[in-house]
């Protein structure tokens, strides 16, 4: 127990230090866009066509017919603290959807959040906060590569050279120390958009895969979370952090409904980097704020 308390304090201090020092002025790694971005929707979204009766009471992309469809937990604080939760959540949810699209029959290398820090318009996102929907707008137009081409460094260098960013996404070095840009794998999306509220969120996650949602992460219930279901009755009016929502369920002992989510604080936080958050009561403002989704081109 003592070790767990020390770990919880350490993680809390890291969260506070990193968000205050490396994110927006209000200590948030989520940033509202100056002007709302339009969705780019090609097909009828699931919440408009799915019969609610087909959506199960519990669902988790970590175990669908004994198959694990989600990508690994990441850490936005290493090797350099960076307020880029928006990038980690956006590419994490998109990587999950690529695994789902292939039925997990082949290995999918996680997409690179660093590309968004190197290339995205600073108005859409940086180490000082950003938007998952802005990330998807960028990927739709420019594409994105994986972490073997662009490993996470936690810095927002924006542009590497006076050439288009899609030509500098992938880089490598040989055994003699010579480094260069190379043509690597590039992935695109066919459409992107938002959902709001419990019913729309569940329909989107169930039909097409995880989504990127924002929450009020400065709540002690979130910052000090070590397990179980996060319950915070305070109604917040803003969000500060972006996570990936991958499913939902109900606690057998208490009957409390919850969301299942993946954070970007490393596996030392929460339940090996994962969390459960009370569902249906707008806990941490998750259900009143829009969640972003994107459909990968495979």
Give the CA diameter of the chain: 60
- Please say if 85 is a catalytic residue: yes
Looking at residue 293, what DSSP letter applies? Answer: E
Per-residue pLDDT of 92-141, as tens digits, reads 999 999 999 999 888 899 999 999 999 877 778 899 999 999 999 999 99
- Candidate list 47, 88, 218, 241, residue with the active-site label: 241
- Please say if 241 is a catalytic residue: yes
- Candidate list 29, 88, 213, 263, residue with the active-site label: 263
User: Which of 29-63 are b and which e, b meaning 16 or more Cβ less than 10 Å from the residue's Cβ?
Assistant: bbbeeeeebebbeeeebbbeebeeeebeeebbbee
What's the whole-number mean pLDDT along residues 146-175? 87
Query: Do the Cβ atoms of 122 and 106 come closer than 8 Å?
Result: no
- Candidate list 85, 119, 213, 291, residue with the active-site label: 85
Percent of the chain topping pLDDT 90? 78
Spatial neighbors of 47 by CB under 8 A, at least 6 apart, are: 195, 199, 200, 203, 204
Between CA 89 and CA 84 the distance in angstroms is 9
Q: What is the mean pLDDT of the chain?
A: 89
Comparing 160 with 98, the larger pLDDT belongs to 98
Query: What is the predicted pLDDT for the residue at 5?
Result: 42
- Please say if 263 is a catalytic residue: yes
Whether the per-residue pLDDT at 23 is higher than 70: the answer is no
Q: Assign 3-state DSSP to the chain and report helix, strand, coil percentages, each to 5.
A: 30, 20, 50
Q: 27: pLDDT confidence band, cut at 50, 70 and 90?
A: low
Per-residue pLDDT of 49-87, as tens digits, reads 999 999 999 999 999 999 999 999 999 999 999 999 999
Whether the per-residue pLDDT at 17 is higher than 90: the answer is no
Query: What is the predicted pLDDT for the residue at 159?
Result: 66
What CATH topology corresponds to 2-111+190-296? Cathepsin B; Chain A (3.90.70)
Name the least confident of 156-165, 173-182, 243-252, 272-281: 156-165
Element (H, E) at 116: helix 113-119
Name the least confident of 38-47, 258-267, 269-278: 38-47
Query: What is the predicted pLDDT for the residue at 167?
Result: 86
């Amino acid at each position: 127990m003592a070790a767990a308390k020390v770990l919880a304090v350490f993680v809390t201090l890291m969260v506070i230090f990193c968000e205050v020092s490396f994110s927006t002025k209000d200590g948030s790694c989520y940033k509202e866009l100056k002007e709302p971005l339009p969705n780019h929707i090609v097909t009828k979204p699931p919440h408009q066509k799915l019969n609610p009766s087909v959506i199960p009471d519990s669902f988790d992309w970590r175990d669908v017919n004994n198959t694990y469809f989600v990508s690994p937990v990441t850490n936005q604080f290493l090797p350099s603290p960076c307020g880029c939760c928006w990038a980690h959540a956006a590419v994490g949810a998109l990587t999950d959807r690529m695994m789902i699209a292939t039925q997990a029959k082949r290995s999918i290398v996680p997409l690179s959040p660093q590309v968004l820090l190197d290339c995205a318009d600073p108005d859409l996102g940086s180490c000082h906060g950003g938007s998952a929907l802005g990330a998807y707008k960028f990927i739709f137009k420019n594409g994105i590569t994986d972490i073997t081409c662009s490993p996470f460094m936690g810095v927002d260098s924006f542009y590497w050279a006076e050439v288009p960013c899609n030509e500098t996404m992938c880089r490598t070095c040989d055994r003699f120390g010579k480094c260069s840009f190379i043509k690597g794998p590039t992935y695109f999306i066919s459409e992107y958009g938002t959902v709001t509220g419990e019913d729309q969120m569940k329909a989107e996650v169930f039909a097409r895969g995880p989504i990127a949602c924002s929450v009020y992460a400065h709540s002690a219930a979130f910052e000090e979370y070590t397990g179980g279901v996060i319950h915070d009755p305070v109604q917040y009016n803003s969000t500060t952090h972006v996570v990936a929502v991958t499913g939902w369920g109900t606690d057998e002992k208490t009957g409390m409904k919850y969301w299942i989510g993946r954070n970007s604080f490393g596996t030392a936080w929460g339940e090996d980097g994962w969390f459960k958050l009370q569902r249906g009561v707008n806990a941490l403002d998750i259900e009143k704020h829009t969640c972003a989704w994107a459909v990968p081109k495979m």
